[in-house]
A and B are shown apart, each in its own frame.
Chain A
Amino acid sequence: METSRDDFIIAIRSAFLKKGNQQKFSLLSLILFSIIFLILGNYNFKIVNYNRDAIKEIIYFSSYAVNIPENFIKKSINKVSDHFNHYDNYLITKNQLQELKNKDLEKKIISFENVELKKLIDDYFVEDKQAYAKVLIDKVSPFLRSIVINKGSRNGVQAGMAVYDDIYLVGKVVEVNFLTSRVLLISDINSKVPITIQPINLQGILSGLDEASGQLQYIKKKELIIDNFEKLIVVTSGVGGIFKSGIPIGEINLVDNLINEKLVVNFYRDFSQLKYVKISSHIKENINIDQSNKKIFKENNSQITQLNNQAQDIEVLKQQKVINEEIKFKLQSENIRIKKDLINAQKELSESNKKNKENMNKNENLEFLELNLLFGHKCRKNIFKPQLFKINTAEYRACILNKGPTKKN
């Protein structure tokens, strides 16, 4: 018993501590190194992060370099098979092209309508930042389905940005280095994408299942899917704000759903064949302001302020005008009233003048009559005084007013 324990200890010690001819470190020290690496990985130290990023950059590019021969062989094989299938593919493509042309017009109209409607409900997103990247590594790990792309923080890539192959969703950026980034594919079990099933409009979460398919989770009313006979399309719902709504992902496999209890989604894209991908982030249209637009925005703002000021001035002027008009109206009415008064006054004046004249005439007549009584005999023509004047003649009147005929010298 004692001997076997000694043997075990010797064997363990030998395994852990003995260095071979070429070994510079014992196993134990390297295991400790690994554990230190793991522990440091849990903490966010700047120096550790820089070193880790540097190691990652080196390994990504060396991995890409090592992959070049294999990629070349793969490409060559694909090219040869493409040549063999060329004519068949041509016929298929020709038919598809015709069908697609027909659908394209319809799609354009629907897209415009969709944009208009989204704008109405304030859910219209436009691309904020976008970049195209080459896939450096798409090695499938047993733990993580991800790809490494050749764009990093230097190119404006940020964690959480959506990654597309054409218009189809591929995944999201989960790790950003200076020159490279890692994209978590939606086929990974850790990927959780909020989705909508169209046309039945069911909400849920899509998680990765295997390379070509995903599994729907947290779906209420599963019977709607299972009893359905239409083609069901899975698109992003936009919940959570990471992905915009309406990005196509795949179709629900009705056959699998009938066999298994799992709700399986077949992806539109084959993630093992990715070569180039598009990375982009989205913002709502009304806050899409880049540097060049900012200047225009500022100018527009100042113009708007000026216009607002002018509008205020105009408003003041309008009020002034109203007041002026009121004053003018009052003045006019006053004027009219004064004119009327004037006319009345003139009338009165003319009447009074007339009366005055009449009175004067009357007075003259009265004076004439009085003088006539006194001096009528001196002016009246008779047999004895034929040189005098006849009654009611102007000479007679002048004679009366003169109080008798004028004496001749």
Chain B
Amino acid sequence: MNNSKKYFLYKYTPAFLLFTSILNEIDFNSEFKYFSFNFAYILIFYYNLKKEGGIGYILIFIAGLFNDVVNGLPMGISSLSYLLLCTAAAYLRNITLRPSLIKDWISFLITILILNFITYSYLILFFNYEINYFNQMANIIGTFLLYLVFSYIFRFYDDFLLGKAN
């Protein structure tokens, strides 16, 4: 595989994964009764934290709209939470001098807790949604735990494409 192809894959794989996970029926919520996770959160946070350009804010914005439509949520709510996630990631990237996976991990937990708080509040206050808090907590914990696993996988993939030096 030549370098241009590798760079193309490096650049567009996250966006491809994001849209595929949103549009596809590979469900991260239904396979097990008490286990689910939000793959989009992990992907967006990781790539916006590690890469300057990230996935691309417009693509993330559109992906959020797609997610809202597919999941039947009010349009704009996922875009808002994804973009706030990007903000948190960009802020962390700017203030971080020595990257550490554990610090990223903890920051990710705090960020998704705040984001879910905003999302739930909006859904409950403005749209009268009834939310199963047990399932949501399981989703947050699953997302938090799997961040570690996926960050290793993403790093391995990037290293494979660009080499460890990059």
Interface residues of A (CB under 8 A from B): 7-8, 10-12, 14-16, 18, 20-27, 30-31, 33-38, 41-42, 52, 55-56, 59-60, 62-63, 66-67, 70-71, 137-144, 146, 148, 174-175, 182, 189-190, 210-211, 272
Contact = CB atoms under 8 A, between A and B. Distances in A.
A7 B91 CA distance: 11
A137 B70 contact: yes
A15 B70 contact: no
B126 A42 contact: yes
- Please name the 7 residue pairs, one residue from A and one from B, whose CB atoms are nearest each other, closest first: A37-B76, A141-B71, A15-B90, A38-B76, A34-B80, A11-B94, A140-B30
Contacts of A211: 30, 33
B102 to A, nearest CB: 20
B84 interface: yes
8 contacts: A23-B57, A23-B58, A31-B83, A34-B77, A35-B80, A37-B76, A42-B126, A67-B24
B53 A34 contact: no
Nearest to A272: B30
A33 B90 contact: no
B75 interface: yes
A264 B131 CA distance: 18
A138 B139 CA distance: 19
B57 to A, nearest CB: 5
Interface string B60-72: 1100111001111
A142 B135 contact: yes
B75 A182 contact: no
A42 to B, nearest CB: 7
B132 interface: yes
A34 B76 contact: yes
Q: Is the interface of B mostly helix, strand, loop or mixed?
A: helix
A55 B72 contact: no
A21 B11 CA distance: 13
A189 B134 CA distance: 12
Interface residues of B, number: 54
Contacts of A63: 23-24, 66, 70
Interface string B101-114: 00000000000000
A20 B52 contact: yes
Contacts of A36: 76
Given A55-B75, A60-B69, A142-B135, A16 B80 contact: no
A33 to B, nearest CB: 7
B72 A141 contact: yes
Given A30-B57, A41-B75, 9 more contacts: A15-B94, A18-B90, A34-B79, A34-B80, A56-B69, A59-B69, A70-B26, A143-B71, A143-B131
Nearest to A35: B80
Contacts of A23: 53, 56-58
B52 A38 contact: no
Contacts of A14: 90-91, 94
Contacts of B132: 189
A11 B79 CA distance: 22
Contacts of A12: 91
Given A11-B94, A59-B69, A138 B25 contact: yes
B155 to A, nearest CB: 21
B36 A20 contact: no
B86 interface: yes
A157 to B, nearest CB: 16
Nearest to A7: B95
A325 B38 CA distance: 95
A256 to B, nearest CB: 13
